[in-house]
Structure 1
Amino acid sequence: MEISAICRRDRISKQNEVAIIIRLYHNGIVRKITSGLRIKVDYWDFDNNCLKNGIPNQEHLQYLLDKQIQEFKKRELEYKIQGKNYSIDDIIGIKKKPAMTVEEYFQKIINELSDLGRLNTRDKYKFTLSSLNKFRSTKISFTDMDFQFLKDYEMFLRKSGLADNSIATKFSTLKSVFNKALEEEIFVCNKNPFKKFKVGSLWTSTRKRAINKETISQLSRLDLSVVNACPKSYLELARDIFMFSYLTAGINFKDIAFLKYANIDNNRIYYVRHKTKKMLTFNLLPEARKILDKYSKTDAEEDDYIFPILDKKIHVTEQQIFDRIQKVRGRINKNLGYISEAMNLKHRLTTYVARHSFATVLKRSGVNIGIISELMGHANLATTEIYLDGFEEKQVEQAMQHLV
């Protein structure tokens, strides 16, 4: 029997990912089984049907893949030792286990995401599973998930007070789990309920979170001594993080936390965005350089973190780093909230508002959206559009004057 791993070029997802498939060939019969692993299309060597060398998590991915292939080979060897005839379906049968419940399959994915270090995505699955367990305390099987089940779950979430997009996120996650389980033949589905239940219709346009250039200027000049909610040093860090993000193409909080001295060369910044793995580089504005200098240490090493968020000696494991970033981000946003109150702002400032504000201020200044998208490290213009606020009423009125 021949066993190999393959990926299909014609099955690339919107996230530019491909599924790794295990191909089995025996006595003229071919079976293809999903491994449950998905990777960026650029990580796969299509000529040699293997993972490319040097990709992130290569050793762990190879281990997970080899483990599954060895399981099939072990089963084949058992048949040979016993002198029994076997078919390819007999070999596949060892991989088939008693039907997993929805919770068990969710947990399987959660564990895999933890192993891969994708902790934000892992938590999204954990939160969805938690809400499902609150909805139905009994063990749910995939065959229980019909159209009416989905409608009832939606009603449960709405009665719980969740916003439309929070509900949509949970259903998007649930649909992903359902389809993965279906691909892995965890259950037999006669009628896919998600063909009738449209997850896309749950999403609603969100209020854009940008502030204008004048408000940015007010923030930078604000006397923080008027804010008594917490120590001034905490408020300074919160404002500095916000301003640095705004001044550096909307760099998000996680990437700020990971900035090291090695990422700065004179007045230019070089970093790989964690979310898209895309390299970004641009010159630092004097105001951004001033913030960096404020937190820089003369005796620092190249691999030291610049901002007082992570410490390479304390935050070592992926979980420690993840927890620390979550904790500090929450504290930063809380302190930005105090600043918002002191400025009498209608909407609270957050680190995310800085990213939106960068994009919107450039748009209103006439900068091409393609340039904004490139600076933000987006994969496409559609993603950038989400960040862009509409034009101000005054700008619209001025534009209309050109009609007559």
Structure 2
Amino acid sequence: MSTTIDVICYKSKMLKNNENPLMLRVTKDRKRRYLSLGISINPQYWDFTKNKPKRNCPNKEQILKLIAEKTKAYREQIIELKATDKDFTAKSLIEKVHKPTKAKTVKKVFDEQIERLFAEKRRGYALSHKQVLNSLIEYNKHLDIYFSDIDVTWLRKYETWLRSNNISTNTIGIRFRTLRAVFNIAIKEKIVKAEYYPFNDYNVSKLKQETVKRSISKDDILSVINYSCNNGNSYTDLAIDLFTFSYVMAGINFVDMAYLTKDNIIDGRLIYFRKKTNKLIKTPLQDKAIDIISKYQDNRNPYLFPILNSFHKTEQQKANRVHKVITKVNKRLKQIGQELDIPIDLTTYVARHSFATVLKRSGVNTSIISESLGHSSEKVTQIYLDSFENSQIDEAMKNLL
């Protein structure tokens, strides 16, 4: 149905100056919406048949110019919406013209989000966003587009392109969830209207497949913990100790272990904020963990483990060091796993998953600890952990060894 744009003298409302306001009237699908032009006119100077000021109207030229500018803006917006085959109502048309969104491209919003994450010292998450940004640019050739340009068809074509480049389903899922998160930021910051949100019709949850098993049995874990090192390799000792510490301390991951200091030990508990999620974690300090901490005690180093030291001052230096050490530790763990005939490649992350799995198989309620501690399920797990008394967590962790 056609859309009409008129300017009328609103006779039903008389102002204090005995004039009537001029109103913009938008009609679509038999529904009307009105918007004041901010000026008024004496009704004797208005031609109600032709909806325009009479010849003898004071300021006639200025009023005609304002009417032309306003109606032009609405007609141009209607043409743009029809050209892109996007539906609209009289109300949404007024909002789009009267309250335009901030003109920011997709690349600009991505860049700002990446900069924000780096400032918050969430380096891993920032780099993940940067990887998605580069992927989107490679696919679309550029990202000097607006979020309203990203519709369901655009998303489907991007998915097809990723699959043609042999990108795994889980990696595709990560990229789409990141894009969705940035789109939500754009909506929140009023860069794009919610009506353009394409993820109500494009199902991101389908982009997930079962991952390779990352946990091992309690017997296999004990064989790693009790592994005898006779070759004097310091990285073998460190690898076993970090694996053990992660397992007995609620699956703490490698990066968080690297940044631990004596200040994180309070009243017999390990208390720290997760680097990835900034979630506060409080875990009872196990006897085995205390022994490991004592083993690496060094008054010259503020950190609990010999991963970082005072030499590493900038975030980049710390990140480079953590990456170097985890590569060596995981390489040694893999060799140990092969020697012990463990059915999967051994890494520090296996300790994290095994912590959850062993507790579950020991009968611990899934409300306290879920089978997986990664990504979306990890958030749910941490919420549940925080909602229980410390004594319940303490009791549950007695099943680990």
TM-score range, shorter chain: 0.5 to 0.7
Where do residues 2-401 of structure 1 align in structure 2 (5 Å cutoff)?
Answer: 99-141=103-145, 142-187=147-192, 191-225=196-230, 232-264=233-265, 268-274=268-274, 275-285=277-287, 287-297=288-298, 299-300=299-300, 304-311=302-309, 313-372=310-369, 380-381=380-381
SS at match of 1:344: coil
Could you tell me how far 1:342 is from its partner in structure 2?
2.5
Could you tell me how far 1:317 is from its partner in structure 2?
3.0
Larger radius of gyration: 2
Which letter maps to 1:321?
K
SS at match of 2:244: helix
Matches of 2:233 and 2:336 in 1, distance apart?
A: 11
SS at match of 1:280: strand
Matches of 1:190 and 1:371 in 2, distance apart?
A: 39
Conserved? CA contact 2:216–2:350, under 8 Å: yes
Q: Deviations over 1:313-338 (max 9, x none)?
A: 22223343333333322332232222
User: Larger RCO: Structure 1 or Structure 2 (Cα < 8 Å, ≥ 6 residues apart)?
Assistant: 1
Matches of 2:158 and 2:229 in 1, distance apart?
A: 46
Could you tell me how far 1:242 is from its partner in structure 2?
0.4
Matches of 1:102 and 1:263 in 2, distance apart?
A: 40
Q: Deviations over 1:332-368 (max 9, x none)?
A: 2232222222233321111111011112112222233
Which letter maps to 2:273?
R
SS at match of 2:134: helix
Which letter maps to 1:102?
V
Conserved? CA contact 1:143–1:189, under 8 Å: no
Structure 2 alignment gaps of length 5 or more: 1-95, 386-401
Could you tell me how far 1:207 is from its partner in structure 2?
3.7
SS at match of 1:369: coil
RMSD value over aligned CA atoms? 3.3
Matches of 2:348 and 2:383 in 1, distance apart?
A: 18
Matches of 1:309 and 1:183 in 2, distance apart?
A: 40
Q: Deviations over 1:85-138 (max 9, x none)?
A: xxxx9xx98xx76x3332222111111211222212211210100111221223
Over 3 Å counting, the alpha-carbon distance change for 1:155 and 1:233 in structure 2 is same
Could you tell me how far 1:148 is from its partner in structure 2?
1.7
Over 3 Å counting, the alpha-carbon distance change for 1:276 and 1:116 in structure 2 is closer
Could you tell me how far 1:270 is from its partner in structure 2?
2.6
Over 3 Å counting, the alpha-carbon distance change for 1:361 and 1:188 in structure 2 is closer
Structure 1 alignment gaps of length 5 or more: 1-88, 386-404
Conserved? CA contact 1:210–1:354, under 8 Å: yes
Q: Deviations over 1:260-296 (max 9, x none)?
A: 2233468x333123234324131422x3332222211
Conserved? CA contact 1:212–1:361, under 8 Å: yes
SS at match of 2:153: helix
Which letter maps to 1:290?
D
Conserved? CA contact 1:378–1:384, under 8 Å: no
Could you tell me how far 1:214 is from its partner in structure 2?
1.1
* Percent identity between the two aligned chains: 38
Could you tell me how far 1:187 is from its partner in structure 2?
4.4
Matches of 2:212 and 2:366 in 1, distance apart?
A: 19
Matches of 2:282 and 2:380 in 1, distance apart?
A: 15
Q: Deviations over 1:40-94 (max 9, x none)?
A: xxxxxxxxxxxxxxxxxxxxxxxxxxxxxxxxxxxxxxxxxxxxxxxxx9xx98x
Over 3 Å counting, the alpha-carbon distance change for 1:384 and 1:364 in structure 2 is farther
Matches of 1:294 and 1:122 in 2, distance apart?
A: 34
Matches of 1:293 and 1:108 in 2, distance apart?
A: 43
**Count of aligned pairs:** 282
Could you tell me how far 1:246 is from its partner in structure 2?
0.9
Residue 42 of structure 1 is matched in structure 2 by none
Which letter maps to 2:185?
K
SS at match of 2:363: coil
Q: Deviations over 1:117-168 (max 9, x none)?
A: 2212211210100111221223441343222211111112222222222111
Over 3 Å counting, the alpha-carbon distance change for 1:128 and 1:292 in structure 2 is same
Which letter maps to 1:155?
T
Which letter maps to 1:129?
L
Matches of 1:383 and 1:131 in 2, distance apart?
A: 33
